[in-house]
């Protein structure tokens, strides 16, 4: 159980940082030695140990291997990454991580499908200080960490409905956008994932201008709906609210292209971009 200071539980990042320092000192290594042997910058490792930064999960995988710690650090990282999100998202993240069925409608590229460079572009402000950039890197790491749920065992059944507009609004980088489209096409072919495109030809629909919608079902049958637009999000667990949003999602799914047609559509968009 996490230690408490003034009645507040110790943060996940603090627990991870303390564990990193314990493992290093147990090995009798200085930060400089660890930096030399692991290939990571000394100041970066110091900030991980102090709980000031959240790394990418691959860093924890490397350090788990370095220390022979099994998956200890990766497990602690999965808890620590929640600190990169505001409190109002934590319950949604908990439900999302445990969901067996996930249904998403997004007017933009969903976070669960974003590659690193595209996520960084989306999350970055036009003018950012060094501190702002560090915050962005934490959000990028946390967003990429969420994507682990698509590959867990047992893998959830996930369906994305993406507005055509999202596939037409290109990234600032030609290469990044090609990589992003390629990634979506690849994920759409995973056995547990379905991607459908909502084409312009579908016309006006009742979720237009209302942001994204996510529906979650747990193994015990409990369900939740989450809507997000602008800087606000609303989590609903009342059965009537969830049913209402499920019906909205089903109507939208009926307007979208079939999965096979959607895959062909996205491949065509990618080819158009490359030409």
Our measurement of the distance from residue 163's CA atom to the centroid of its chain's CA atoms, rounded to an integer in Å, reads: 19
The structural domains of the chain, ordered by start, are 4-82 (1.10.260.40), 88-115+141-274 (3.30.870.10)
198 beta partners: 163
Which tens digit of pLDDT belongs to each residue from 6-57?
445 677 888 999 999 999 999 999 999 999 999 999 999 998 999 888 888 8
Please say whether the dihedral angle defined by the alpha carbons of residues 89, 90, 93 and 99, taken in this order, is positive or negative. Answer: negative
Q: What is the band of 134 on the pLDDT scale with cuts at 50, 70, 90? A: confident
**What confidence score (pLDDT) does residue 52 get?**
82
Mean pLDDT score across all residues of the chain: 89
Residues 152-191: pLDDT tens digits? 999 999 999 999 999 998 888 899 999 999 999 999 999 9
Please state the rounded mean pLDDT for residues 190-207: 94
Cα distance between residue 146 and residue 139, in whole Å: 11
DSSP states of 180-243:
HHHHHHHHTTSTTEEEEEE-GGG---TTTTS-EEEEEE-TTS-EEEEEEETTEEEEE--HHHHH
Q: How far apart are CA 185 and CA 182, in angstroms?
A: 5
pLDDT at 93: 87
- Tell me: pLDDT of 3 over 70: no
Choice between 33 and 231, residue whose per-residue pLDDT is larger: 33
pTM passes above 0.85: no
Segment 255-268 mean pLDDT = 97
Predicted local confidence at residue 51, as pLDDT: 87
Choose from 94-108, 126-140, 225-239 the range with maximum mean pLDDT: 94-108
Classify strands 157-163 and 193-198 as parallel, antiparallel or unpaired: parallel
Give residue 90's pLDDT: 78
The pLDDT value given to residue 233: 83
User: What digits encode the pLDDT tens for the residues 77-121?
Assistant: 988 877 666 555 778 888 999 999 999 999 999 999 999 999 999
pLDDT (0 to 100) of residue 251? 94
pLDDT at residue 128, as a whole number: 53
CA 169, CA 111: separation in Å to the nearest integer?
15
User: What phi and psi, each to the nearest 5 degrees, are found at residue 245?
Assistant: -75, -30
Higher-pLDDT residue of 81 and 192 is: 192
């Amino acid at each position: 159980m996490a230690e408490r200071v003034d009645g507040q539980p110790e943060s996940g990042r603090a627990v991870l940082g303390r564990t990193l320092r314990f493992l290093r000192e147990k090995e009798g290594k200085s930060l400089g030695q660890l930096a030399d042997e692991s290939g990571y910058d000394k100041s970066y490792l110091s900030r991980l140990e102090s709980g000031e930064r959240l790394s990418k999960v691959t860093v924890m995988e490397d350090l788990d291997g370095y220390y022979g710690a099994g998956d200890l650090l990766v497990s602690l990282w999965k808890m620590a990454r929640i600190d990169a999100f505001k409190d109002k998202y934590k319950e949604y993240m908990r439900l999302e991580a445990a969901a067996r069925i996930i249904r998403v409608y997004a007017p933009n590229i969903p976070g669960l499908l974003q590659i690193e460079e595209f996520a960084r572009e989306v999350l970055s402000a036009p003018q950012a200080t060094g501190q702002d950039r560090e915050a962005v890197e934490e959000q990028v790491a946390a967003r990429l960490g969420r994507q682990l749920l698509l590959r867990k065992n047992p893998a959830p059944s996930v369906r994305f409905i993406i507005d055509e507009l999202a596939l037409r609004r290109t990234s600032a980088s030609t290469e990044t956008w090609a990589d992003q489209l390629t990634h979506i096409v690849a994920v759409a072919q995973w056995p547990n994932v379905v991607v459908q495109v909502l084409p312009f030809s579908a016309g006006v629909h009742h979720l237009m201008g209302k942001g994204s919608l996510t529906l979650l079902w747990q193994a015990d049958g409990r369900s939740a709906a989450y809507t997000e637009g602008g800087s606000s999000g609303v989590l609903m667990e009342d059965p009537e609210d969830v049913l209402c949003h499920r019906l909205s999602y089903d109507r939208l799914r009926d307007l979208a292209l079939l999965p096979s047609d959607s895959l062909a559509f996205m491949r065509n968009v990618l080819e158009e971009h490359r030409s």
